[in-house]
Amino acid sequence: MFEKVLVANRGEIALRVVRACQELGVAAVAVYSDADESALHVRHADEAVRIGPPPAGKSYLDVEALIDAARETGAEAVHPGYGFLAENAAFAAACREAGLTFVGPPAEAIEKMGNKSAARRLAREAGVPVVPGSDDASSAEEAAQTAGEIGYPIMVKAAAGGGGRGIRVAEDEDGLRKAVQVARREAEAAFGDGTLYLEKLLVAPRHVEVQVMGDHEGNVIHLYERECSMQRRRQKVLEEAPSPGISQGVREKIAEAAVRLAREAGYANAGTVEFLVEGDEFYFIEMNTRIQVEHPVTEMLTGVDLVKEQIRIAAGEPLSLEQEDVPMVGHAMEFRINAEDPDQDFMPSPGEISWLEVPGGPGVRVDSAIYQGYQIPPFYDSMVGKLIVWALTREEAISRARRALREYRLEGIKTTIPLHLRLLEGEAFRSGEYHTGYLEELLNGG
């Protein structure tokens, strides 16, 4: 096991990793920008290193500063959390070249799965179904020809994309030609890579992802699926597990497909294989080569500490459990608490938290790095916390979530707590019969 790990992130995920390290008897080194000097992940870490001014490009995305911080403090490994450089193959390679262990998959696996077109090809080779489309849309003419073969509506997507960026929908050929131009510009600006591919737009699918974990001995397991269909502008709002909308037969097939793909990719450490589901049919869309924002849902469902497992695997240990040892008990849900105003088109709401009361009780977990008096900086993602609940049944989990959200007092800023309470009252959510377009329809008065 490592003696010291540098946590190359901020906020609640940095605090989450710090705590996992300390429970393993490993010293945790935090990094911080000037905006985060008083942050909780800095306070709780064993050491902390300033890495630059507030803009992420000059701090949390500065590879040289992060590696220098690891060297200065004698850290042996770097945990990237999620976001920032977590899925950056060049950062993983730079860590390796500096003699540091990257707590995540090898750089080669990140590169292989990070390009969505290459990942589609790999999925087909592994016998995993993919959404009809093409792996390359290098010109509007090629895109139009492919669309003519598979039909409209169609999605133009960035091969190096993520977070819902570099995606456009076209209803006809004229719209497609414009979408190709816009998506390419956006992809080049966001990812430095304008490569595009096409996917047939499924009208009302579910978004279901499977948590996988692999070690360096070739062992791969799944930890069941998460339902992620409650989305706004392709950004997840809440997640639950197990999915209320798939049968046990589909559950088994989709999990087996995820494991098969991870093995085909030579994957090690934590990863998530994402699918679109319509009825009993499912299609691979992408693989996230990192720990997910919603990983606590799986932890609550299975009792497995995914972050500790990540660190053990990075240190060279085999998986601590086999597939038949992974339990699935009860039902779990996660609600993303964002500093946004749902009544004002989700306008960001940075500012000082004047009052904070965190919910508790059986089956309630809050992952957050805020405190009363904390000033939320305007430079980073708007998520300020995650409320996770668990109960033996889905109905009981909904009741517990409603109670916990009402108990959650976060004043001084606007948050998405009222939106979550509204969703819990909706018949579509309560029945489990919702899809990826449901929330947009609800917000637009549908």
Q: Three-state SS for 94? A: helix
Distance from C-alpha of 6 to C-alpha of 18, rounded to nearest angstrom: 9
pLDDT digits (tens, 9 = 90+) for 105-158: 999 999 989 888 889 899 999 999 998 888 777 788 889 998 998 899 999 998
Helix (H) or strand (E) holding 442: helix 438-443
Residue 333 — pLDDT band, cuts 50, 70, 90?
A: very high
Exposed, middle or buried, 249 (CB in 10 Å: 0-12/13-18/19+)? exposed
Positive or negative CA dihedral for 71, 110, 34, 32?
negative
Distance from C-alpha of 154 to C-alpha of 251, rounded to nearest angstrom: 27
Catalytic residue list: 290
CA 336-272-168 angle, 5° bins = 75
Contact present, 155 and 199 (Cβ < 8 Å): yes
Q: What 8-state DSSP symbol labels residue 130?
A: B
What integer pLDDT is reported at residue 446 of this predicted model? 59
Question: Is residue 380 pLDDT above 90, yes or no?
Answer: yes
- Kindly report the pTM of this predicted structure: 0.90
What integer pLDDT is reported at residue 142 of this predicted model? 87
Question: Is residue 445 pLDDT above 80, yes or no?
Answer: no
Percentage of the chain with pLDDT > 90? 86
Domain ranges in the chain are 4-103, 132-200, 206-443
Please state which of the ranges 188-192, 314-318, 357-361 shows the lowest mean pLDDT.
188-192
Residue 293 — pLDDT band, cuts 50, 70, 90?
A: very high
Please state which of the ranges 174-188, 245-259, 364-378 shows the lowest mean pLDDT.
174-188
Distance from C-alpha of 116 to C-alpha of 226, rounded to nearest angstrom: 21
What integer pLDDT is reported at residue 163 of this predicted model? 65
What is the pLDDT averaged over residues 285-290? 94
Distance from C-alpha of 163 to C-alpha of 116, rounded to nearest angstrom: 13
Token output for 305: 């500490």
Please state which of the ranges 107-111, 191-195, 321-325 shows the lowest mean pLDDT.
191-195
Contact present, 228 and 220 (Cβ < 8 Å): no
Could you tell me the end-to-end alpha-carbon distance of the chain, in angstroms, rounded to an integer? 53
What integer pLDDT is reported at residue 234 of this predicted model? 84
**Candidates 3.30.70.20, 3.40.50.20, 3.90.230.10, 3.30.428.10; correct CATH number of 4-103?**
3.40.50.20
What integer pLDDT is reported at residue 390 of this predicted model? 98
**Candidates 1.10.287.130, 3.30.1490.20, 3.40.50.300, 3.30.1380.10; correct CATH number of 132-200?**
3.30.1490.20
10 phi and psi angles, rounded to 5 deg: -145, 180
Exposed, middle or buried, 179 (CB in 10 Å: 0-12/13-18/19+)? buried
Q: Are the folds of 132-200 and 206-443 the same?
A: no
pLDDT digits (tens, 9 = 90+) for 204-252: 999 999 999 999 999 999 999 999 999 998 899 999 999 999 999 999 9
Q: What 8-state DSSP symbol labels residue 99?
A: T
Distance from C-alpha of 387 to C-alpha of 424, rounded to nearest angstrom: 14
Q: Is domain 206-443 classified as CATH 3.40.50.720?
A: no
- Those residues whose C-beta lies under 8 Å from the C-beta of residue 248, and which sit 6 or more positions away, are none
